[in-house]
Amino acid sequence: MLEQWLHDASYTVVFTGAGMSTESGLPDFRSAKQGLWNNLDPSEIASTDALNKNVHAFTEFYRQRVLGVKTYEPHKGHYILADWEKQGKLKSIITQNVDGFHQKAGSQKVAELHGTLQTLHCQSCNKKYSSEAYLDKEYHCDCGGILRPSIVLFGEALPQSAFQQAFTEAQACDLFVVLGSSLSVTPANQFPLIAKDSGAKLVIINREETDLDYYADLVIHNRNIGDILKELDV
């Protein structure tokens, strides 16, 4: 069924969440077993407040996150999506992930709703830096400001350009495929509904059930995303 839908669709958009990254080995922040939040309060360590009042803990925590991203690589699913884009089978990717693996695999049109760990910027003057600076324990800009990852922290709004790109793509598509998202984080979880309301078929592929399964035309649970994409890559 999904293979036929992909073949027939004229505008396919993919939405990826943590489940896409965990297949590369990256831990899921919210998973019950290995989530990185288990022993930490996100509001205390990954927030604008922490950046302003607890800089040492903030930078050390995100140095470990950057190191983690550098340790792993995109998996076969990332590369298949990149190939589909080159072939014209996939128009764009909307992602909640901040690892940059889609771009590393070769995808060009990616809306990063929560930013990226691949770059840093100065909190004061906004100058951009490579995330390699954190690995070298360089936490300050030339102007003296604090370097921070270019991601959305707790207490911040989504980047307007990425949000608008995602909104436009969700409205334009006739097939919207969710890969590895619990669809529990707002406002990102509204895009599947926007696509559905705009007339698209909605497919949700996630290891566990989601609150939006009821709205989907097809739901697949308990399978590896990479395996499914490989089967569809014909």
Q: Is 27 left (phi over 0), alpha (psi -120 to 50) or beta?
A: beta
Catalytic annotation on 56? no
CA distance 66 to 198: 37
234 burial via Cβ count (<10 Å: 0-12, 13-18, 19+):
exposed
Output the six-digit token pair for 182: 């619990």
1 burial via Cβ count (<10 Å: 0-12, 13-18, 19+):
exposed
Cβ-proximal residues to 84 (8 Å cutoff; 6+ apart), any chain: 12, 90, 233
Cβ-proximal residues to 194 (8 Å cutoff; 6+ apart), any chain: 167, 170, 171
Choose the catalytic residue: 7, 78, 114, 121.
114
CA distance 17 to 36: 16
Catalytic residue numbers, as ranges: 114
